[in-house]
Amino acid sequence: MRYNEYFRSRLADLQDEGNYRVFIDLQRRRGAFPEAVQTDGAARRDVTIWCSNDYLGMGQHPDVLAAMHDAVDRCGAGAGGTRNISGTTHDHVLLEAELADLHGKEAALLFTSGYVSNWAALGTLASEIPGCIVFSDALNHASMIEGIRHSRAQKVIWKHNDLEDLEAKLAAADPDAPKLIAFESVYSMDGDIAPIKEICDLADRYNAMTYLDEVHAVGLYGPRGGGIAEREGLMDRLTVIEGTLGKAFGVVGGYIAASAELVDFVRSFASGFIFTTALPPAIAAGAAASVRHLKASNAERDLQKTRVAQLRERLDAQGIPHLPNPSHIIPVMVGDPVKCKFISDTLLEEFGIYIQPINYPTVPKGTERLRITPSPVHSEADLDHLAQALETLWARCQIARMPMAAQ
């Protein structure tokens, strides 16, 4: 076995498929985001970011940055240990209380990332409850899939957002077996939204727990930013709500909110929680400031909705195909990995517009896309520039258009 040769050959395969990922080296300009500076070898280029998950620009909000500066001054850099061994700081405790309150739950538990929160919480619930069957939406995020896989519990995949299929599968399972239905509210790549109420109804009927991933919804939906479940008055019906501090809240980290017992159970048995260094106090303090701000302010959410609607209108007028959905995510469909990367590269080099191409395995082959996330920090001038650039490229590249909305 020649290890490095093997690695090279697998990487060459990715190149051949057009699926090799090149990371764009960015320096966000605090206060001017979505503006950033790209470093590309010796060259530097001003770019506007259109594919960030800092959906509301909270990553540059003065309250968030002030809280981070203050915590660094008070407590220093890192937490210095796992939560159990010297790593629980008062900032963690306050943030967990803030998150429990956000979701109307008794308790919340922080993880180092949203990925780890899904992997550790689902992995622990499914493996530590003997005989647990996990009913997993077919389009669940990789972190949920890996957590369920890791648990080695029985997994039943139901068709994406399909209540009939979910019910048939619940009905076919042992009525006495513990059950957990795992799904998301806003799906990241298509931007569609789950029928949460109906899933909770099924969970009640079949005595299943529900685990809802709201990472693309917290901060963004509901009168206090509690997510789709808050908007629809359903938070009390969910067993676990999982969220992130790294998208709309603009910082980093993940969490679950649930009953005191469930949270204590995951806290006590989840390897991925127990054996890892706690987040720095400055991260916890910054995230708490962000959550607090978005509980009280709708200005960011309102302006985001406006910008999303404005971009959809422009795309419709130009006949540029995008998936219709009820969320803030605008997937512009290209359907070919090489073309998708070419458009992205050209947007960056000619127009200073950065939209990462989304290729396999993040989305199925043949559905390659540009995933655009308009935010309240994008101006109308930014919108004009983007629409004009897309118009130019669609003309140049002879990519299929939708029937013109105006015709």
Which residues, 116 to 155, sit near its own copies by CB under 8 A? 116, 119, 128-129, 141-143, 146, 149-150
CA atoms of 348 and 130, how far apart (whole Å)? 52
Determine if 113 is a binding residue for its own copies (CB under 8 A): yes
Binding flag, residue 211, its own copies (CB under 8 A): no
Using N-to-C axis directions, what is the helix angle for 260-269 and 114-128, rounded to 10°?
Answer: 90
- Which residues, 187 to 206, sit near its own copies by CB under 8 A? none
Residue 393 burial (10 A CB sphere; 0-12, 13-18, 19+): buried
Smallest separation, CB 128 to its own copies (Å):
7
Longest dimension (CA), the chain: 66
Q: Which is nearer to its own copies, 51 or 323 (CB)?
A: 51
Q: Which of residues 286-315 bind its own copies (CB under 8 A)?
A: 286, 290
From the CB of 145, what's the least distance to its own copies, in Å? 8
Residue of 247, 295, 305, 339 marked active site: 247
Q: Which residue has the tokens 């605090």?
A: 30
The correct pick among 93, 171, 397, 404 for binding its own copies (CB under 8 A) is 93
Residue from 17, 21, 205, 395 that binds its own copies (CB under 8 A)?
A: 21
C-beta of 16 vs 176, nearer to its own copies: 176
Where in 253-272 is the site for its own copies (CB under 8 A)?
A: 259, 261-262, 264-265, 267-269, 271-272
Among candidate residues 48, 58, 113, the one with its CA nearest the CA of residue 248: 58
147 or 318, CB closer to its own copies? 147
Among 97, 168, 198, 207, binds its own copies (CB under 8 A): 207
Q: Where are the beta strands (DSSP E) in 91-171?
A: 107-111, 133-137, 154-158
**How many residues of this chain bind its own copies (CB under 8 A)?**
110
**What phi, psi does 307 have (nearest 5°)?**
-65, -40
Q: Which of the ranges 8-16, 218-226, 312-320, 386-394 carries the binding residues for its own copies, by CB under 8 A?
A: 8-16
118 and 126 in contact (C-beta within 8 Å)? no
From the list 246, 321, 331, 374, which residue makes contact with its own copies (rule: CB under 8 A)? 246
Can residue 336 be called a binding residue for its own copies (CB under 8 A)? no
Choice between 147 and 226, CB closer to its own copies: 147
Query: Minimum distance between the CB of residue 256 and its own copies, rounded to whole angstroms?
Result: 13
Bridge partners for 257 per DSSP? 108, 241
Of positions 72, 156, 303, 383, contacts its own copies by CB under 8 A: 72
Q: Which stretch binds its own copies (CB under 8 A): 10-18, 224-232, 307-315, 390-398?
A: 10-18
Note whether 256 and 326 are within 8 A (CB): no
Q: Tell me the sheet residues that pair with 110.
A: 255
- From the CB of 262, what's the least distance to its own copies, in Å? 6
> Which long-range contacts does 308-316 make (Cβ < 8 Å, 24+ apart)?
308/374, 310/374, 310/380, 310/383, 311/372, 311/374, 311/383, 311/386, 311/387, 314/383, 314/386, 314/387, 315/387, 315/390, 316/402, 316/405
Which of 110, 196, 257, 279 binds its own copies (CB under 8 A)? It is 279
Residue 371 neighbours by CB under 8 Å, 6+ apart? 51, 188, 189, 329, 330, 331, 332, 355, 356, 358
Q: For this structure, is 247 an active site residue?
A: yes
401 contributes a contact to its own copies by CB under 8 A = no
Binding to its own copies by residue 352, rule CB under 8 A?
no
x-or-dash string of contact with its own copies, 43-62, rule CB under 8 A: ------x-xxxx---xxxx-
When the beta carbons of 232 and 351 are compared against its own copies, the nearer one is 351
Output Rg (C-alpha) for the chain, integer angstroms. 22
Q: In this chain, which of 318, 327, 356, 367 binds its own copies, going by CB under 8 A?
A: 356
Tell me whether residue 322 or residue 371 sits nearer to its own copies (CB atom). Answer: 371
Cβ 230 vs Cβ 222: under 8 Å:
yes
Minimum distance, C-beta of residue 34 to its own copies, in the bound complex (Å) = 9
Q: Considering the rule CB under 8 A, would residue 173 count as an interface residue with its own copies?
A: no
Report whether 89 contacts 65 (CB < 8 A).
no
Distance CA 401, CA 63 (A): 43
Q: Which residues are catalytic?
A: 247
